[in-house]
Amino acid sequence: MRLFSKSSFQDKGHINIHGKPKNIIHLKKAMTFVKSHFSFYNFAWFLIIFLLEILVTLVFTSTTTRSSSPPTTTAHEFLSIDHSEEKCKYGKVYVYELPPMFNKELLENCDDLNPWKSQCAAVSNNGFGPNATSLAGTVVPKELTPPWYWTNLFAGEIIFHTRSLNYKCRTTEPESATAFYVPFYAGLAVSKYLLNLSSSARDRDAPCQRFLGWIKHQPYWKKSNGSDHFLMLGRSSWDFRRARDDDIWGTSFLRMPLMKQMYRLTIERHLTDPLDVSVPYPSGFHPNSLSDIRKWQEFVRTRDRPNLFTFVGGKRGYIKNDFRALLLDICYKESGSCKALDCGKIPCLDGSSAVIEAFLDSDFCLQPRGDSVTRRSTFDCMLAGSIPVFFWEGTVGGQYELFMSNEPESFSVFIHRNEVRNGTTSIRKVLEGYSREDIRRMRDKVIDMIPRISYAFPGNERSANNIRDAFDIGVEEVLRRINSQKGIMIN
């Protein structure tokens, strides 16, 4: 599927509600013809045979459909499968078609997104990135590799746009929409300025100001002042909250007056901003079917894990008392229990089999804060069935409750960083205190959450309609909030 092909923006599968279905019209014509050429007696026999044929066809079709449907009785707690007739109970979403400068042209000019490195591979394949073919047969069995891609951690804007075009609750009629999704790739638009420290505050604000200059003239924006509109930010919310023009980092996008009512999905939210909705970082696993999910869950559930714990990360030499450096040192000293992967020596981003292998081989994975309080590695770790160990309460707390259990102790371990720094707590001894049964129970909880922290690959109707993934859950939360502000409460 091509994200910006002409057919992507055409109406697909809409039912004609302004007339009778064609099959009913054809049936009436056929019956009129029969009546005019047969006696009543012949007609009666014909009608009986005709109805019997229909009945046989319906029974056969029904049986076939039931036998080919996925079983539902063994679905785990977090494998959310929607079999209800209320698939769009929160309402429908209208997807704007923006001028190309706000999304399509950014992808076409992918060499300019980062002043240090081309991002063309990172934004390819509608945001999912290249197929992870190097995993096949080495780290992961060949038959389990099709759902794996080398996905960039900042590709969420493209992925959400791709998924929105196939969303089961999308409408092409804005007057029937509950919410309006605006696929402006704000993170990509400002990235080349964020990474260029010689850029000015005006440079960093310009792409977002151009977007707001366009959207404010749109009729449905003017109707609500943006209160029923939302977008996806592929970077942390903090990158869009520059407070002063003399700050060398960030854009002031979320502080601009026109953004005071617009909802935003983001990989890390501001805890006091009610318009922010956190969603998982994009990782590499993008299932296309229920079968993809169940096969992967079974693989990680039965995986032999020789290491008690692992740490995947790089030192930050510019940070005083860098905690990552401390964890690497601890891991090297505890080499009999810990697998260390130094990302300063081994490339870890968007294409490293070693990262996935380290998590697959370990019961626990150490998850300090990243460049901000959250970290993409948390999701890489959990997708591999490894149990995360946190050192900052905010790494998942207050961020991802929609997608994870609201009882963090059921699927993770918390050790305060200060206890590690001052030597009063040994990470190895804490983790050795968990029994094999404890580890099995926690791992099962992590594995059950895999569908909710993954972004399904589009194109399979069963995946798009039946499995609620991170995209579905995030968009539904925005719809729920918009309904709530209108006084509409939906259970």
Whether the predicted pLDDT of 7 surpasses 50: no
Winning range, highest mean pLDDT, from 32-41, 49-58, 63-72, 453-462: 453-462
Average pLDDT of 366-378?
A: 93
Is the per-residue pLDDT at 319 higher than 90?
A: no
Using 50, 70 and 90 to split pLDDT, how confident is the model at 302?
very high
pLDDT digits (tens, 9 = 90+) for 180-224: 999 999 999 999 999 888 899 999 999 999 999 999 999 999 999
In words, the CATH class of domain 304-453 is alpha beta
Query: Is the per-residue pLDDT at 131 higher than 50?
Result: yes
- What's this model's pTM, rounded to 2 decimal places? 0.82
Q: Predicted confidence band at 87 (pLDDT cuts at 50, 70, 90)?
A: confident
Q: Is the pLDDT reported for residue 9 higher than 60?
A: no
Q: Any idea which of 77-91, 264-278, 391-405 has the lowest mean pLDDT? A: 77-91
Mean pLDDT over residues 374-389, rounded? 97
Q: Where are the domains of the chain?
A: 93-283+455-485, 304-453
Q: Is the pLDDT of residue 474 over 50?
A: yes
More confident residue, 358 or 22: 358
Average pLDDT, rounded, for the chain: 85
pLDDT digits (tens, 9 = 90+) for 16-45: 333 333 343 343 333 333 334 434 444 444
Going by pLDDT thresholds of 50, 70 and 90, the confidence category of residue 460 is low
The arithmetic mean of pLDDT across residues 249-269, rounded, is 97
323-355 residue pLDDT tens: 999 999 999 999 999 999 999 998 887 678 999
Would you state the pLDDT for residue 370? Answer: 84
What average pLDDT does the segment 91-116 reach? Answer: 97
pLDDT of residue 104: 98
- pLDDT for position 6: 38
SS (H, E, C) the chain: CCCCCHHHHCCCCCCCCCCCCHHHHHHHHHHHHHHHHCCHHHHHHHHHHHHHHHHHHHHHHHHHHHHHCCCCCCCCCCCCECCCCCCCCCCCEEECCCCHHHCHHHHHCHHHCCCCCCCCCCCCHHHCCCECHHHECCCECHHHCCCEECCCCCCHHHHHHHHHHCCCCEECCHHHCCEEECCCCHHHHHHHHHCCCCCCHHHHHHHHHHHHHHHCCCHHHHHHCCCCEEEEECCCHHHHCCCCCCCCCCCCHHHCHHHCCCEEEECCCCCCCCCEEECCCCCCECCCCHHHHHHHHHHHHCCCCCEEEEEEECCCCCCCCCHHHHHHHHHHHCCCCEEEEECCCCCCCCCCHHHHHHHHCEEEEEECCCCCCCCCHHHHHHHCCCEEEECCHHHCCCCCCCCCCCCHHHCCEECCHHHHHCCCCCHHHHHHCCCHHHHHHHHHHHHHCHHHHCCCCCCCHHHHHHECCHHHHHHHHHHHHHHHHCCCCCC
